[in-house]
Chain A
Amino acid sequence: MKLELRDIRHVYAPSTPFEVEALRGVSLVVEPGEVLAIIGGTGSGKSTLVQHMNLLLVPTGGEVLVDGVDARSLKQSELRRRVGLVFQFPESALFAPTVEEDVAFAPRQLALSEAEVRERVLESLRALGAGELAARSPFALSGGEKRRAAIAGVLAMRPEVLVLDEPTAGLDPATRENLLALILGLREAGVSVVLVSHDLDEVAEVADKVCALHEGRVRTAGTPAEVFYGDPAQAPATVQVASLLRGSRPEIDNPVRFGETLDALRALQGI
């Protein structure tokens, strides 16, 4: 699916002393099967923005289009099935006695057979490397296991767009790498992924496009190379290293991912 946000504005608590304009006209497109990363400092509007993608928040101005059709004309349940949203620290919403029951909660609302629900649950847990957790209580899991169980609950809806808000915050590096591999696997399967992240090094590894927000507006958007080489001071470490070398060694070009950067550095004469 192609998901398009056009000139989205959002005002919290309008006409009160607490009025805050969190988004001041943001436009972006999520193409089918691409990974779009949304970056920006605390308070830049990232979380507010992604909550518009399934109309969990209704924009004060602007519109959300799903394959060119106004999202407000779709049934809410259909929109939320097709655009799956995983909040920050989603593990705080785990509630069922077993992981399997928890993951089954949403797909069970889809009028599927019990066998089909079960198949989806196990498929989602396996995709997250969490198949062995199915029978356990979500409350007896480690932080990383809980996070994976919570994401599996959204994945079991088989969304066409998966929105992940800071999915790797607080995870250990190995669990984080597994999650990044899952994102690339979903893209392979044609699912679009919107990744909100503070961690530019992880954005560098998985993003096809980057949208940088600042104070509720799009500051820059484009390919990772366009965005990061345009502002190397706020770029992943790979781009920082390469841009420091580009002055005297222009042949290094503009690598972003770790592997590309390592290859470019190894290709330097005399290294």
Chain B
Amino acid sequence: MENLGEGTRPCGSFAVSCERVSFSYPGSGRPALSEVSLDLRPGEYVGVVGPNGGGKSTLVRLLNGLLRADSGRVRVSDHDPATEPFEVRKHLGLLFQNPENGLVAPFIEDDVAFGLENLGVPREEMRDRVARAIRAVGLEGYERREPYTLSGGEKQRVALAGLLAVEPEILVLDEPTSMLDAAGRREVLEYLQVLRSEKTVLHVTHHLEELLDSDRILVLNGGELVADETPERFFSNADLLRENRLVLPVVPRLALELGFPPAKLRTAEELAEAILARTQSGTRAG
């Protein structure tokens, strides 16, 4: 067995590192996470998928110190979330599923400033950081709006701005679009794409198509890490998808069934074009 003890891996080079992490909820018969090891390198965009109860939310809660591992080792920017949760939360921002739950203040700008106020940031700097965060999610002009007047997508962007104001280098997104309609999903994803160049991102989702551009995709099922794949390999692996109750969207699913690379064909136009190209050249290409 490989020695995974202290010092065998320079964890300083990882943004997030879990070594053989296990966790069981009190009173539950089986572990929610069982000996899970994974690393995120700085700047990586990593997706996490898997059926309900697979361990995705447990992983997220261990990373920001809401839960403490029964065994194993969790490090976020070299800090242990279980013993230094407040330090870890400066480095790691967590965006939840339902934006309604996170909005607390009467005006948008107060909401975005809320996290910073607890960090003792000087007034002037706070103002700058809030303004920058609001710009980063495209909500200039919304500073004095009240949260209840916003659409779902806008609320989720406010929640994201609140995280960005703290300037964490790691973002953890826990199904950030699942409560939004199609338009809201598109706008949130658009701003997340812009952020990926400067952040390390762990993105938990049921919408597999959101991970087409990720660097890696992790599959958690039954508390175990069952796959760690590139998008190309992940989207082409019909057995892996089926065994883990993962459902591809219609266009990649048609592409996969017809033997096209599903990660490359995202829109109806791209698939139709590929089909025409093959049916027209098929006889010649033999």
Which residues on A are within 8 Å of B, measured CB to CB?
42, 142, 144, 169-170, 172-177, 198, 201, 236-238, 240-241, 244-245, 248-249, 258, 261-262, 265-266, 268-271
User: Contacts A142-B53, A172-B206 given: A265-B246 contact, CB under 8 Å?
Assistant: no
Binding stretch for chain A, among B37-45, B107-115, B195-203, B268-276? B268-276
Contacts of A176 in B (CB 8 A): 247
Q: Which residues of A contact B251 (CB under 8 A)?
A: 237, 241
Q: How far is the CA of A240 from the CA of B254 in the complex (A)?
A: 12
- A269-B279 contact in complex given A142-B52, A170-B179, A198-B182, C-beta closer than 8 Å: yes
Name the contact of A170 in the complex, choosing from B178, B271, B272 (C-beta under 8 A).
Answer: B178
- CA gap between A42 and B184 in the complex, in Å: 12
Which residues of chain B are within 8 angstroms of A172 by Cβ–Cβ distance? 51-52, 206
CA gap between A172 and B244 in the complex, in Å = 12
Indicate which residue in B182, B247, B272 contacts A174 across the interface (CB closer than 8 Å).
B247
Which B residues touch A170, using CB under 8 A?
A: 178-179
B181 touches A198 (CB 8 A): yes
| Bound CA–CA A14/B282 (angstroms) | 64
Main secondary structure, interface of B, reads helix
Partner of A265, one of B53, B254, B283: B254
Q: Give B57's nearest chain A residue, CB to CB.
A: A142
Cβ contacts A to B, 25 pairs, < 8 Å: A142-B52, A142-B53, A144-B52, A170-B178, A170-B179, A172-B51, A172-B52, A173-B245, A174-B52, A174-B247, A175-B52, A198-B181, A236-B250, A237-B254, A241-B271, A241-B275, A245-B276, A249-B276, A262-B257, A265-B254, A265-B258, A266-B258, A270-B279, A270-B282, A271-B282
Nearest-Cβ distance from residue B143 to partner chain A, whole angstroms? 26
Inter-chain CA distance A261–B254, complex, in Å, is 9
Further pairs besides A237-B268, A271-B282: 9, Cβ < 8 Å:
A144-B52, A169-B179, A172-B51, A198-B181, A241-B275, A248-B276, A261-B254, A266-B258, A270-B283
Question: Contact: A262 with B52, CB < 8 Å?
Answer: no
Interface residues of B in 258-286 (CB under 8 A from A): 258, 268-269, 271-272, 275-276, 278-280, 282-283
Asked if B250 and A258 make an inter-chain contact with CB atoms under 8 angstroms apart, the answer reads yes
- The residues of A that contact B12 with a CB separation of less than 8 Å are none
Closest chain A residue to B245 by CB distance? A174
Q: Is the pair A270, B280 in contact by a Cβ cutoff of 8 Å? A: yes
A residues near B246, Cβ cutoff 8 Å: 173
CB neighbours (8 Å) of B129 from chain A are: none
Interface assignment of B253: CB less than 8 Å from any CB of chain A: yes
Partner of B206, one of A173, A201, A238: A173
Residue among A201, A236, A270 having the largest count of chain B Cβ atoms under 10 Å: A270
A-facing residues in B43-65 (Cβ within 8 Å) = 51-53
Q: Kindly list chain A residues whose C-beta atoms are within 8 Å of the C-beta of B257.
A: 262
- CB contacts (< 8 Å) of A268 on chain B: these are 275, 279
- CB-CB under 8 A for A177 and B179, given A270-B283, A271-B275: no
Q: Contacts of A266 on B, CB cut-off 8 Å? A: 258
Residues of B within 8 A of A236 (CB): 250
Contact of B106 with A by CB under 8 A: no
The 7 closest A-B pairs by CB, nearest first: A270-B282, A240-B268, A173-B247, A244-B272, A237-B250, A270-B279, A174-B245
CB distance from A139 to the nearest CB of B (A): 15
Contact with A along B129-146 (1 / 0, CB 8 A): 000000000000000000
**Bound form: Cα–Cα A169–B269 in Å:** 26
Please name all residues of chain B whose beta carbon is closer than 8 Å to the beta carbon of A142 when the two chains form the complex.
52-53
In B166-184, the 8 Å CB interface with A consists of 178-179, 181-182
| Interchain CB contact under 8 A, A241 and B282 | no
In chain A, what residue has the closest Cβ to B182? Answer: A198
- Chain A residues with CB under 8 Å of B268's CB are 237, 240-241, 244
CB distance from B238 to the nearest CB of A (A): 13
Within the complex, the shortest CB–CB distance from B248 to chain A, in Å, comes to 9
User: How long is the Cα–Cα vector from A238 to B258 in the complex, in angstroms?
Assistant: 13
Across-interface contacts of A177 in B (CB, < 8 A): 247
A262 to B275, CA, bound (A): 12
Instruction: Tell me, in angstroms, the Cα distance from A226 to B51 when the chains sit together.
Output: 36
